[in-house]
Structure 1
Amino acid sequence: MGMYYLTVFEKNGEKLLDESYEAANDQEAKVLGTKKLEEKNYTKNTHRCVNAAGKMILFER
């Protein structure tokens, strides 16, 4: 299991969400991150998800 970090921003730069979670791999992390964004209605906001090494898993501008 690896750690992943999901961050969501408002257009003015305000951080709306800064959350970490565990996933077995990058693909599972992408699915879980997308689910969290949908649950919190943040799919339209700028967001990113990175793994512990800093590799970008999800990104939306």
Structure 2
Amino acid sequence: MRTYALTVFDQSGENLLNETFTAENDEEAKKVGQARLDEEGYSEYTHRCVNPEAKLILFHR
């Protein structure tokens, strides 16, 4: 399992969500990250999800 980081910001730059989760690969992590955003109602906020090498796998601005 690999550890991914999911972060959400509001327009002022305040951090609304900052958490890590594990997934088998980047594709699974995209699905998990998007589901988490949908759960919290943060899909339209600025967000990013990065893999352990710090590569962006999910991003919205």
Normalised by the length of structure 2, the TM-score is 0.99
Show the counterpart of 2:25.
25
Partner of 1:12: 12
Give deviations 1:1-46, integer Å, cap 9, x for gaps: 1000000000000000000000000000000000000000000100
| Aligned partner letter, 2:39 | E
Count matched residues: 61
Query: Within 5 Å, which residues of 2 pair with 1:21-60?
Result: 21-60=21-60
Percent identity reads 52
1:11 match: secondary structure = coil
1:27 partner SS: helix
Which stretches in structure 2 are left out of the alignment for 5+ residues? none
Which runs of at least 4 in structure 1 moved beyond 6 Å after TM superposition? none
Matches of 2:44 and 2:50 in 1, distance apart? 18
